[in-house]
Structure 1
Amino acid sequence: MLPTNGRTSFLMRDAARHTAGAKRSKYLRRIFQFKQMDFEFASWQMLYLLMAPQKVYRNFHYRKQTKDQWARDDPAFLVMLSIWLCVSTIGFGFVLDLGLLGILKLLLWVVFIDCIGVGLFIATFMWFVSNRYLLKQPMREVDVEWGYAFDVHLNAFFPLLIILHCVQLFFINHVIILDWFFGRFLGNTLWLLALSYYIYITFLGYSALSFLKNTVILLYPFTLLFLFYILSLVLNWNFTKGLCWFYKFRVE
């Protein structure tokens, strides 16, 4: 048995290893250590985020039980998401005929503003709201990790990326941006599907935490989203055409 002072020192070192700063430092140190990343498991997660996202969050429970943290400790998912983002953005640049310099500018905008910047804002906002208003019993020992909030955003962002930046590419020039109802219907329906995925996977992420309450409110935006979708068809709004204009405006 450890002496009292030795046991206290051990507990302090163990607690330090589990602080948010320590977890973040460990995660960042591993981000360039590709041989230590489990890309096969990250691919499995991406596949199931499209097919059965509930299964992905079961693994988060397992990680909490074995490693005492909800957030990912392996950056493989983030690396693969970045690759998907870069490849799909380059494809978008070719479809919009932006040229080499335009594609490079668009890539920088999408990666650092749309993905990282917006992701950090959304994760911080959800982290604050969930810890401030959704905890069943606010205590120091139980809270939503910021890293987990960021993981939930990444999980929800992946299907949105696949639908809007990959699937949609094949229909933009020849169907979606043409001035007819079917093109507008197809484009706006893909937006509806993508944003619905984002809302639902975000809800699953926070409802998976047993110490949170009233997480069903995260599904409320579905009603507003569907009403906005119907309104867009009635008023001839084409979201994809607007996105293409916005992307071109950015690089000019």
Structure 2
Amino acid sequence: MLPLSATHAPDESYSGRQSSVRLPVIFRRLHRFQQMDFELAAWQLTYLCLAPRRVYRNVYFHKQTKNTWARDDPAILVLIATCLAVSAVAWGIVYSYGLLEILNIAMLMILRDFLSTGVLVASLLWFVSNRLLISPPSHSTPADSRVEWGYAFDVHTNAFFPLFLALYFAQLFLLPIIMKNNWVCLFVGNTLYFAAFTQYVYGLYLGFNALPFLVRSELLLAPLVPLLGAYIASLLGFNIPQHVLGSYFR
């Protein structure tokens, strides 16, 4: 089961423990396709690439109307999973894979790269933000000033889509260049990965920075320092795309 932060009074500890292990609404509604707002989800995906801050302006409205920071519509999960499945088909065609091999790649991209990684990242950021980033209590601090696990997963979902466009889509078209054994092609490929993960980390920061009760959210940008160091070191001769794609397509 996945954790959820829940605000409760001391005499509500039992119900609080029940809600803390409940599966987030966004996962419980995955089967309700007729109730999903795909138009809004497509709008959000578009602006996550063009103006990501604009997407997070809506979380205040969602909190006021639904009394939760986390989205309850899984349409965006369905769209991203569909994009990953289509990407798997395209990669499979490029590598002359059969149907079963393409299905295996699609499951890896959806279940491992997107969902499992999202659960780990969301759990880590949920724990860190609630322990280290909550502002000190005051008369102006909201009573429910806790980061919901579902919102942390939303932030991962939002940050993942620009990374998808870079590494699952753009990289496919750059394949003839980045797989060559010369330094210029190594630079192009490694820079693509560096830009993708930089955008992902920045997307995580934007999501948590949008919560009014968090402070020091700039600490979430700290991974950019080792990321930059690893990128510079890789330019000495380590071709990241060749090693990553080699683990996918043997």
Whether the TM-score (by the shorter chain) exceeds 0.5 is yes
Matches of 1:122 and 1:45 in 2, distance apart? 21
Higher-helix-fraction structure:
1
1:171-209 CA distance string (max 9 Å, x none):
11x211011122211111111111111011100111111
Matches of 1:21 and 1:68 in 2, distance apart? 19
Shift in alpha-carbon separation, 1:76–1:166, aligned structure 2, 3 A: same
Match of 1:150 in 2: 153
Match of 1:54 in 2: 53
State the 1:93 CA deviation: 2.1
Contact (CA 8 Å) 1:157, 1:198: kept in 2 or not? yes
Matches of 1:153 and 1:212 in 2, distance apart? 17
**Which segment drifts farther, 27-36 or 40-49?**
27-36
Mapping 1:31-50, distance limit 5 Å: 31-50=30-49
1:116-158 CA distance string (max 9 Å, x none):
1111111111101111111113697321000000000011111
Matches of 1:92 and 1:49 in 2, distance apart? 24
Matches of 2:50 and 2:243 in 1, distance apart? 29
* Structure number with larger C-alpha Rg: 1
Match of 1:239 in 2: 240
Contact (CA 8 Å) 1:127, 1:149: kept in 2 or not? yes
State the 1:20 CA deviation: 5.9
1:169 aligns with 2:166: no
Match of 1:195 in 2: 197
Shift in alpha-carbon separation, 1:29–1:232, aligned structure 2, 3 A: closer
Matches of 2:95 and 2:131 in 1, distance apart? 43
Shift in alpha-carbon separation, 1:29–1:206, aligned structure 2, 3 A: closer
Match of 2:114 in 1: 115
Match of 1:5 in 2: none
Contact (CA 8 Å) 1:86, 1:111: kept in 2 or not? yes
State the 1:113 CA deviation: 1.7
- Kindly provide the amino acid, as one letter, of the partner of residue 146 in structure 2: D
State the 1:98 CA deviation: 3.1
Mapping 1:125-144, distance limit 5 Å: 125-137=124-136, 141-144=144-147
TM-score (norm 2): 0.85
Mapping 1:218-237, distance limit 5 Å: 218-233=220-235, 235-237=236-238
Matches of 1:158 and 1:62 in 2, distance apart? 23
Match of 1:8 in 2: none
Matches of 1:203 and 1:210 in 2, distance apart? 13
Match of 1:182 in 2: 184
CA RMSD of aligned residues (A): 2.2
- Runs ≥4 residues deviating over 4 A: 19-23
Match of 2:62 in 1: 63
Identical positions, percent: 43
Matches of 1:181 and 1:107 in 2, distance apart? 31
Matches of 1:32 and 1:104 in 2, distance apart? 21
1:92 aligns with 2:85: no
Matches of 2:26 and 2:74 in 1, distance apart? 7
1:192-239 CA distance string (max 9 Å, x none):
111111011100111111111111111122222222212111x21111
Contact (CA 8 Å) 1:96, 1:244: kept in 2 or not? no
TM-score (norm 1): 0.85
- Kindly provide the amino acid, as one letter, of the partner of residue 67 in structure 2: D
